[in-house]
């Protein structure tokens, strides 16, 4: 046998089939048969955090880019950023940062396209083409990106591909869906959306509180107040947020009342559920009352404008795409004890967080991947409960799911196409969505409802 080491290939497989356009709902009833809560079932999206435990932190970015077939770019970027934070790599070359932004903007446009097919087919096609063109220009010709590396990106951009991306954005700018953003109602307009969520809104921002999908800060806005959103470093995530259902597919994270929220301070306030995504982006910049659909349209326009700024920046064509000190930081890293790194990105569905804790030799000992879907589940549960307790029709249930936009095919179902599987539970859920009611409820009865 050869003395050379033989590379070992490890295959990770998730045996879970998700039917297109089907939404699974857990319906809880009291002893009188009255609905007490309706929750969106996330069991089809199992936690994958544990798969990364025991792996080398430096190997994780190659795994994270394939964690989600719908959102591979945001997982790729969040994973690389978490590794950078873990190793103390913060000096990302300007050109590399622009390339990452180009990739992120392209991913958002590509993802949003499915949301607009039913209302503007040509606009959706233009979105998809522009998104793909931006990602190609950033160095991702295929669905799964291999662009970012700790300290920067792999390669410079191709001028020809940049030119093609500019042309695709020009075409997108002439579509009706972009031009209609200027006609969106003001938050206090008569037909403005009635927002009943009473938790927090969270979005990624820069140090000045401006929306920045690849920023290093989180802005938190509190419902029912006129105060500005509070800002804190994304690296503080582990001490600010806890899961009320640790490890569950629906972890229901909250901001802990025992911690200060941001520079203004909120000591002594209760732990709150929160939401993320297009609506939250508008709330944190003090544009309240924007409907989920209009918030998506605003995100579309903001992303197109962001991409145009990146393409127009002369440093995008620079040659310096990776910090030469990154390799030294990795080589000299001291993992005596444990260290943690946090990577965040505000993607098309909202905030995605990767947190890695590593011990000796950079081996991951603990990992948390907090998806927008998981963070928005409490909001979706409240909307579904309001709809079904109030005798709402199927259309209202569909609109609730579209608003929270879970990372499942059903969230892109055209009106009237979504189907539902109602899983009936005897026994009310406990503690206002802070514990797992499945522990005390009887085994569910599954009732399928289709249209």
DSSP string, 281-306: HHHHTT-TT--HHHHHHHHHHHHHHH
Residue 66 per-residue DSSP state: T
Using CA atoms, how far apart are residues 357 and 373, in angstroms rounded to an integer? 23
Using CA atoms, how far apart are residues 196 and 366, in angstroms rounded to an integer? 36
Residue 91 tokens, joined: 């000096």
Which residue, 164, 169, 145, is CA-closest to 155? 145
Is 68 one of the annotated binding-site residues? yes
Task: Answer whether 92's CB lies under 8 Å from 61's CB.
Answer: no
Q: How far is CA 377 from CA 43, 134, 262, in A?
A: 12, 31, 24
Using CA atoms, how far apart are residues 350 and 346, in angstroms rounded to an integer? 5
State the number of CA atoms in the 13 A half-sphere of 8 facing the CB. 3
Is 369 one of the annotated binding-site residues? yes
Cα 255 to its chain centre, rounded Å, is 17
Q: Which own/partner contact pairs does 56-62 have at CB distance under 8 Å and 24+ positions apart?
A: 56/361, 56/362, 56/363, 56/364, 57/83, 57/86, 57/87, 57/341, 57/356, 57/358, 57/362, 57/363, 57/364, 58/83, 58/150, 58/330, 58/362, 60/356, 60/364, 61/148, 61/149, 61/150, 62/146
Kindly provide the residue ranges of all beta strands, DSSP E only, lying in 223-362, ordered along the sequence: 230-233, 241-243, 253-255, 272-275, 339-347, 350-358
Residue 102, helix vs strand vs coil: helix
Task: Answer whether 92's CB lies under 8 Å from 151's CB.
Answer: yes
For the chain, the first-to-last Cα distance in angstroms comes to 63
Is 410 one of the annotated binding-site residues? yes
Residue positions forming the annotated binding site for Mg(2+)? 369
Residue positions forming the annotated binding site for Fe cation? 71, 410
Residue positions forming the annotated binding site? 68, 71, 369, 407, 410
Residue positions forming the annotated binding site for Ni(2+)? 68, 71, 407
């Amino acid at each position: 046998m050869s003395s050379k080491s033989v590379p070992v290939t490890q295959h990770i497989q998730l045996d879970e089939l998700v039917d297109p356009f089907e939404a699974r709902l857990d319906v809880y009833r009291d002893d009188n048969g009255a609905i007490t809560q309706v929750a969106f079932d996330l069991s089809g999206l199992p936690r994958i955090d544990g798969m990364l435990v025991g792996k080398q932190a430096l190997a994780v970015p190659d795994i994270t880019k394939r964690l989600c077939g719908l959102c591979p770019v945001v997982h790729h970027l969040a994973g690389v950023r978490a590794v950078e934070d873990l190793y103390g790599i913060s000096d990302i070359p300007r050109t590399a940062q622009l390339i990452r932004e180009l990739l992120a903007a392209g991913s958002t446009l590509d993802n949003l396209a499915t949301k607009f097919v039913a209302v503007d087919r040509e606009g959706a096609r233009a979105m998809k083409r522009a998104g793909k063109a931006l990602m190609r220009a950033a160095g991702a010709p295929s669905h799964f990106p291999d662009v970012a590396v700790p300290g920067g990106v792999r390669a410079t951009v191709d001028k020809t591909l940049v030119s093609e991306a500019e042309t695709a954005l020009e075409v997108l700018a002439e579509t009706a869906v972009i031009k209609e953003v200027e006609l969106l109602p003001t938050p206090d307009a008569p037909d403005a959306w009635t927002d009943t969520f009473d938790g927090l809104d969270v979005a990624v921002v820069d140090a000045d509180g401006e929306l920045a999908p690849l920023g290093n800060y989180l802005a938190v806005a509190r419902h029912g107040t006129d105060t500005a959103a509070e800002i804190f470093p994304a690296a503080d995530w582990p001490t600010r947020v806890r899961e009320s259902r640790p490890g569950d597919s629906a972890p229901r994270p909250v901001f802990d009342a025992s911690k200060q929220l941001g520079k203004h301070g909120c000591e002594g306030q209760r732990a709150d559920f929160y939401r993320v995504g297009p609506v939250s982006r508008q709330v944190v910049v003090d544009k309240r009352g924007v409907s989920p659909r209009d918030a998506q349209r605003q995100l579309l326009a903001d992303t197109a404008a962001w991409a145009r700024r990146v393409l127009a920046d002369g440093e995008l064509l620079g040659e310096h795409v990776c910090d030469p000190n990154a390799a030294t930081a990795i080589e000299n890293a001291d993992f005596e004890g444990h260290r943690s790194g946090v990577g965040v990105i505000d993607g098309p569905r909202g905030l995605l967080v990767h947190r890695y804790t590593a011990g000796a030799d950079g081996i991951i000992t603990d990992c948390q991947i907090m998806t927008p879907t998981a963070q928005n589940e409490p909001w979706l549960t409240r909307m579904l409960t309001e709809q079904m307790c109030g005798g709402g029709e199927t259309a209202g249930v569909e609109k609730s799911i579209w608003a929270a936009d879970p990372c499942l095919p059903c969230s892109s179902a055209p009106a009237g196409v979504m189907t539902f599987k109602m899983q009936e539970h005897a026994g009310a859920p406990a503690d206002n969505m802070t514990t797992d009611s499945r522990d005390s409820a009887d085994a569910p009865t599954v009732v399928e409802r289709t249209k």
